[in-house]
Amino acid sequence: MTVAKQTIVIGAGIIGASVAWHLAKAGARVTVISGSGAGGVATPNSFAWINASWGNPEVYFRLRTRAMAEWTRLARDLPTIPLSWCGGLCWDLPVAELETYAAEHSAWGYGIERVGRERAARIEPNLAKLPDFALHVAEEGVAEPVAAARALLADAQRLGALAHTGTVDALTLAGERIAGVVVSGEVLNADEVVIAAGVNSPAIAATAGVTLPIDAPPGLIVHSRPHRKLLNGLVLAERLHMRQTAEGRLIAGSDFGGGDPGADPLATAHGLFAAMKAMLRDADGLEFDFHTVGYRPTPADGFPIIGRARDGLYVTVMHSGITLAPAVGLFASREILEGERDPLLGPYGLSRFTR
Ligand SMILES: Cc1cc2nc3c(=O)[nH]c(=O)nc-3n(C[C@H](O)[C@H](O)[C@H](O)COP(=O)(O)OP(=O)(O)OC[C@H]3O[C@@H](n4cnc5c(N)ncnc54)[C@H](O)[C@@H]3O)c2cc1C
């Protein structure tokens, strides 16, 4: 009888949770170590738009659309995941660029509908300011990120994974191979260690001489108190991106779902909240509740780092982690357990930075 592979996953955000769940589901022995508890650090501060929208090359579009399909598969396995294919109404580019995006992505198979004012009003009846021209993508959606991570981790534990609260101080080596971790002074051994520690990943990797080029730009999101339903889906307008969460909060961020907080984040948050309120009809009773500032784990070229960094060490660090999580978990577990690297991961190895 073969003994199941022992794996350690560092991180319990959406990426660590997905990797851990897929490993446990495939029969590996899994220990998840997290300093933050279930739910992560960037993950709770995310806008959580699942998309393959404008601005990326086709090869990355293909990974993102595969990840979108994998969300549907994951939600079938775990129906408690709050996933909604609510659609996205987008006019955050000048019209000519919207047209270019629509032509390019439609040719790639993305379900883009070109809409005018009347159709936009039917999609989002509570918009006070309607666009003359926008693009609607019905297949875009949202997974409430903390609830999704918690559902994955809870089910991973049901499948036998162990959850360990603590801080990984260092990776350990046995010859040239990564042999485990030191966590809060205790040594834990594994056949494979997965770093899914978001913006803190470089510090952990550095203890084994591995350099991860990760930036951490901030993103501010403003939250209203829960309110009766005003939005059906994602609204990606020129000034801001907004949506309504499963618990009824209207949330907004500028610049790709969460912009620069500036010198005075509270003032920025109130300005953004006022702009969101002005975009909605019948929103007089909408009240500011709080804002978050999250740090996006962003590899230096903007694309994910997914793959083996050295023997016994696998890295999964990325922006758009909410979109990508189900595919990353599936592909990482297959590569770790079966040695099979999905072709869609081709461009995303760490070695691209050293070549
Ligand atoms: C404002 C904002 C808006 C965003 N909008 C979107 C969006 O619309 N769509 C989208 O797809 N993505 C979006 N993202 C990106 C997405 O949220 C992230 O890519 C994703 O949450 C990263 O998840 P993660 O699990 O890798 O990291 P995190 O959630 O940061 O989790 C890291 C985990 O590692 C643990 N950890 C770190 N160091 C250690 C250590 N030494 N020992 C033990 N544990 C450790 C932490 O405790 C935590 O559990 C957004 C991000 C932000 C900030």
> What pLDDT score was predicted for residue 254?
85
Model confidence at 261, in pLDDT bands (50, 70, 90)? confident
pLDDT value at 3 more than 80: no
Please say whether the structural domain 6-46+146-213+301-353 has been given the CATH code 3.50.50.60: yes
Pocket lining: 127 vs ligand 1, CB cutoff 6 Å? no
Q: What is the pLDDT of residues 327-348, one digit of tens each?
A: 999 999 999 999 999 999 999 9
Pocket lining: 35 vs ligand 1, CB cutoff 6 Å? yes
> Average pLDDT of 155-168?
97
SS3 string of the chain?
Answer: CCCCCEEEEECCCHHHHHHHHHHHHCCCEEEEEECCCCCCCCHHHCCCEECCCCCCCHHHHHHHHHHHHHHHHHHHHCCCCCEECCCEEECCCCHHHHHHHHHHHHHCCCCEEEEEHHHHHHHCCCECCCCCEEEEECCCEEECHHHHHHHHHHHHHHCCCEEEECCEEEEEEECCEEEEEEECCEEEECCEEEECCHHHHHHHHHCCCCCCCEECCEEEEEEECCCCCCCCCEEECCCCEEEECCCCCEEEECCCCCECCCCCHHHHHHHHHHHHHHCECCCCCCCEEEEEEEECCEECCCCCEEEEEECCEEEEECCCHHHHHHHHHHHHHHHHHHCCCCHHHHHHCHHHHCC
> What pLDDT score was predicted for residue 257?
54
Model confidence at 37, in pLDDT bands (50, 70, 90)? confident
> Average pLDDT of 132-156?
98
Which atom of ligand 1 has the smallest separation from the CA of 15?
A: 25
Pocket lining: 318 vs ligand 1, CB cutoff 6 Å? yes
Pocket lining: 165 vs ligand 1, CB cutoff 6 Å? no
**Using CA positions, which residue lies closest to atom 27 of ligand 1?**
198
Q: What is the pLDDT of residues 62-83, one digit of tens each?
A: 999 999 999 999 999 999 999 9
> What pLDDT score was predicted for residue 255?
65
Which atom of ligand 1 has the smallest separation from the CA of 43?
A: 21
Expressed in angstroms and rounded, the spacing between residue 130 Cα and the centre of ligand 1 is: 33
**Using CA positions, which residue lies closest to atom 52 of ligand 1?**
46
> What pLDDT score was predicted for residue 194?
98
Pocket lining: 9 vs ligand 1, CB cutoff 6 Å? no
Q: Do 6-46+146-213+301-353 and 88-138+218-295 show the same overall fold?
A: no
Question: Are 219 and 240 a contacting pair, CB within 8 Å?
Answer: no
Domain assignments of the chain as residue spans, ordered by start: 6-46+146-213+301-353, 88-138+218-295
Q: What is the pLDDT of residues 181-238, one digit of tens each?
A: 999 899 999 999 999 999 999 999 999 999 999 999 999 999 999 999 999 999 999 9
Q: Is the pTM of this model over 0.95?
A: yes
pLDDT value at 88 more than 90: yes
User: Which of 49, 245, 296, 305 to mutate for ligand 1's pocket (most ligand atoms within 8 Å of CB)?
Assistant: 296
Pocket lining: 198 vs ligand 1, CB cutoff 6 Å? yes
CATH class of domain segment(s) 88-138+218-295:
alpha beta
